[in-house]
Every structure is written in structure tokens, then in C-alpha cells.
Amino acid sequence: MFRIALSYTSTLAPAEPNPYHQIMRNIYYTLYREDNDYVAQCLDFDVSSFGATEQEALHHLREAIELYLEDSPDSGPVPQISEVSVGELAIA
């Protein structure tokens, strides 16, 4: 599990002259190789992206998360990730 720092605008701030303010938040993600691409998957939101390199996948993930947060700024508090497990399932 890795994390990236992300700044986004929220309307869930305490009462201020400007109801929109910048929040800096660490967003957790996983990064893995799938065929010829790298996939970056956000653990805090149902958002993922891909790229030809790890850096490109992370860049696209950051953009996707920023767009996601722009579209739903009042979606409530950001979940807190406390534990992550990676496993394998055998399916017949």
C-alpha cells in the first residue's frame, strides 16, 4: 500500500467567509502491473486509472481522484483506511 498527497476543495468546512477551502489529504492506493500497463487503484474511493509507466498511472490516478472529488464534493467525510490485506483466492 502506498499513498499520495492530494489537495482538494470541500464544502464540508466549518463556517468561514469562503465556504470552499483547500484540504490536504493522503490518499492510499495500490499499484500493480496488468499485461502491458500499470494500474493504480485508489483505496479511499472507487477510482482507478492506468498508464504505460508507474509514474503515468499515478499521474492519471491523481487526475481521476481530483475529478471524482469535484463531481461529488458533498459526498460526506473521506473514509479512513486502517487495514489493508492482500490475498489470493482459488476459483474453480
pLDDT digits (tens, 9 = 90+) for 34-73: 999 999 999 888 899 999 999 999 999 999 988 888 877 5
Is residue 78 assigned to a domain? no
Model pLDDT, residue 73: 59
Choose between 38 and 83: higher pLDDT: 38
CA gap 55, 79 in Å, rounded: 25
Is residue 90 assigned to a domain? no
Mean pLDDT along residues 29-37? 92
pTM across the whole model: 0.66
Looking at residue 36, the DSSP 8-state letter turns out to be: T
Is residue 46 assigned to a domain? yes
Cβ(26)–Cβ(5) under 8 Å? Answer: yes
Is residue 81 assigned to a domain? no
Structural domain boundaries, residue 52? 2-71
- Please tell me the total count of domains within the chain: 1
Model pLDDT, residue 87: 76
